[in-house]
Amino acid sequence: MSAKTLFDKIWDKHVVHSVEDGPQVLYIDRHFIHEVTSPQAFSGLKERGIPVFRPEQTIATADHNVPTENQHLPIKDALSRHQVETLIKNCEEFGVELYGLGHPYQGIVHVIGPELGITQPGMTIVCGDSHTSTHGAFGNIAFGIGTSEVEQVMATQCVLQKKPKTLKIQVDGKLNPGVVSKDIVLHIIAKLTAAGGTGHFIEFCGSTIESLSMEARMTICNMSIEMGARGGLIAPDETTFEYLKSKPFAPKGEKWNKKVEEWKALKSDPNAQFDLEYHFKAEDIEPMITYGTNPGMGIGITKDIPLPNGKTASGLEKSLKYMDLEGGKQLLGHHVDYVFIGSCTNSRIEDLRLVAELVKGKKKADHVHAMIVPGSRQVEKQARAEGLDKILEAAGFELRQPGCSACLGMNEDKVPKGKYCVSTSNRNFEGRQGQGARTLLASPLTAAAAALSGKISDVRELMKVEA
């Protein structure tokens, strides 16, 4: 038998049927749903008069629309409230487990799946959300789908998909101080562009990736979609097993041992061929920041913003106009109005710890509005247990309640028009954080540094002072 990639192994094992010159019927092990992309799918089932086929493999939470303060009170926005209430009703009617507002497991769908141990190696996982790629950090095939596909999965536990091509991204070497996983992925996207991975499924590998914690791996897989890829995975290893071991829904006892043995076999064969390959060196990566309106428009923090080349189609000119930034100039020193630390990219306990460590005993700049939104109730609880909330609050950062929040501004957490926000989220599209808002994507460290100084800063300078 020919050598296979890990992606091929997992995919092929889940194929129920292949349509001639068409897609394949792919069996789905876990289906996560949330309030925004599920209501129309439930309506579809009702119209057809059919149930959710495998409700026990379906997990729901409310995250996109929820307020991040006073979650015990009714949601003020009538449309948001209706959407969240619709999810509650649908889950009751169709027998789907819901970790809704007030539940100790509630949080951003891509944070709770892994931290509860629902996300496991070797699985196929889908959700009506493009950042489903996050779960791939555990060595599984996880990808975002549209609402018609959500309905397919609800109805049959399968989805019709064309098998993507494979793309290997290898990163080797030791990271420079002040450089974290968000910088790695922003660096990769800047090189490959926002469409560089389209039609492909990524396997991230190499010594740098292997050295990362699960939280850091999730940040990288999360942003696979920002280079257009269907998803991104990382072969499971001891770090993966160690993380999962104590999680509520992880297998226990003898079952655990058996599973770990199975999971250990989940890796690409040594001679497996990928359709595309890229190699990066960790030492070439510096803290990253974006200047434009797609995540591929990123630079090392000390570099100049590129100059438009006169080609109007390139979009750079349009982006810089929207951002009110000038090509050929540095971003360092540019003023900052908002700092958002949160989203399915960077809202896990490790992210909060990084920020707390950096801002401990310091104060944010007076003019900066600094918001920290934990990814889940579990993360919030852990942060409070470790006293991070006290450190953050003393530094002027507001620790809010979990949700997607200012990543996409569906609730009231928005960045006002024309304001600059250094954000740990995943998208700097026009208006993403609020109409006219100007988003600069960066790591939690770079975001925290911007909050302290009130301007775009090189976190390494701040760390030098301390050393």
Partner 1 sequence: MEKFNTLNSQAVLLPFEDVDTDQIIPARFLKSVSREGFDENLFRDWRYLEDGSPDPEFVLNQEANKGDVLVAGRNFGCGSSREHAAWALVDYGFKAVVSSFFADIFKNNALNNGLLPVQVTDDFLAQVFEILKKKPEAKLQIDLQNQEISLVGFSLTENFEINSYKKYCLQNGFDDIDFLLNKKNEIEAYEQSLA
Return the residue of 3, 12, 46, 50 that touches partner 1, per CB under 8 A.
Answer: 50
Give backbone dihedrals phi and psi of 25, rounded to 5 degrees, phi first. -90, 110
Q: Which is nearer to partner 1, 83 or 378 (CB)?
A: 83
Subset of 411-440 contacting partner 1 (CB under 8 A) = 427, 429-432, 435
Using the rule CB under 8 A, is 147 a contact of partner 1?
yes
Is residue 313 close enough to count as binding partner 1 by CB under 8 A? yes
Q: Which is nearer to partner 1, 23 or 104 (CB)?
A: 23
**What is the CA 63 to chain-centroid distance, rounded?**
13
Q: Which is nearer to partner 1, 55 or 228 (CB)?
A: 228
Identify the residue among 67, 100, 139, 164 touching partner 1 (CB under 8 A). Answer: 164
At 418, the amino acid letter reads G
E strand residue ranges, 107-199: 124-127, 141-144, 158-161, 165-172
Quote the CA–CA distance of 249 and 59 in Å, as a whole number. 12
Burial of 337 per CB tally in 10 Å (0-12, 13-18, 19+): middle
| N-to-C CA span, the chain | 54
Is the Cβ–Cβ distance between 261 and 406 less than 8 Å? no
HEC sequence for 180-197: CHHHHHHHHHHHHCCCCC
Write out the binding residues for partner 1, residues 82-101 only, by CB under 8 A. Answer: 82-83, 86
For residue 37, state whether it binds partner 1 (rule: CB under 8 A): yes
Q: Where are the alpha helices (DSSP H) in 95-160?
A: 109-115, 147-156
- Using CB under 8 A, pick the residue from 55, 117, 173, 199 that binds partner 1: 199
To the nearest 10°, report the CA torsion of 132, 415, 75, 128.
-20
Contacting range for partner 1; rule: CB under 8 A; set: 37-45, 202-210, 354-362, 391-399: 37-45
Please give the structure tokens belonging to residue 243: 């993380």
Q: Binding of partner 1 at residue 55 (CB under 8 A)?
A: no
Nearer to partner 1 among residue 85 and residue 210 (C-beta):
85
The answer to the question of residue 146 lying near partner 1 (CB under 8 A) is yes
Choose, by CB under 8 A, the member of 61, 124, 130, 376 that binds partner 1. Answer: 130
- Residue 440's nearest CA partner among 303, 338, 290, 335 is 290
Residue 211 is a binding residue for partner 1 (CB under 8 A): no
From CA 380, how far away is CA 387, in angstroms rounded?
11
Q: Which of 162, 279, 281, 384 binds partner 1 (CB under 8 A)?
A: 162
Chain center to CA of 316? 25
Measured at the alpha carbon of residue 284, what is the angle toward residues 279 and 286, in degrees to the nearest 5?
A: 125
Q: What does the alpha-carbon distance between residue 274 and residue 125 come to, in Å, rounded to a whole number?
A: 22
- Can residue 276 be called a binding residue for partner 1 (CB under 8 A)? no
Applying the rule CB under 8 A, the residues between 177 and 196 that interact with partner 1 are 194-195
Q: Does 265 engage in binding with partner 1 (CB under 8 A)?
A: no
Angle at 60 between CA 55 and CA 62, to 5 degrees: 160
Residue found by looking up tokens 């289906």 in the block: 31
Assess 290 for contact with partner 1 (CB under 8 A).
no
Contacting residue, 19, 265, 307, 385, with partner 1 by CB under 8 A:
19
In this complex, which beta carbon is closest to partner 1, that of residue 199 or of residue 396? 199
Residue 3 within binding range of partner 1, rule CB under 8 A? no
What is d(CA 237, CA 102) in angstroms, rounded to the nearest whole number? 34
- DSSP class of 113: H
Residues in the chain: 467
Residue ranges with strand state E in 308-460? 338-341, 369-372, 398-399, 420-423, 438-441
Angle (CA) 419-421-423 rounded to 5° is 160
Binding window for partner 1 (CB under 8 A); candidates: 13-21, 270-278, 376-384, 386-394: 13-21
List the one residue from 61, 106, 120, 152 that touches partner 1 (CB under 8 A). 152
17 binds partner 1 (CB under 8 A): yes
156 sits near partner 1 (criterion: CB under 8 A):
yes
Residue in the block written with tokens 């900066």: 368
Closer to partner 1 by Cβ: residue 210 or 412:
412
Give yes or no for residue 375 binding partner 1 (CB under 8 A): no
Binding segment for partner 1 (CB under 8 A), chosen from 271-279, 339-347, 408-416, 459-467, is: 408-416
Candidates 117-125, 139-147, 327-335, 357-365: pick the segment binding partner 1 (CB under 8 A). Answer: 139-147
Q: How far is the CB of 19 from partner 1 (least distance, A)?
A: 5
Q: Which residues of the chain form contacts with partner 1 (CB under 8 A)?
A: 16-17, 19-23, 25, 27, 36-37, 39-40, 43-44, 48, 50, 64-65, 77, 79-80, 82-83, 86, 128-130, 132, 144-149, 151-152, 155-158, 160-162, 164, 194-195, 198-199, 225, 228, 230, 294, 296, 312-315, 318, 408-410, 427, 429-432, 435
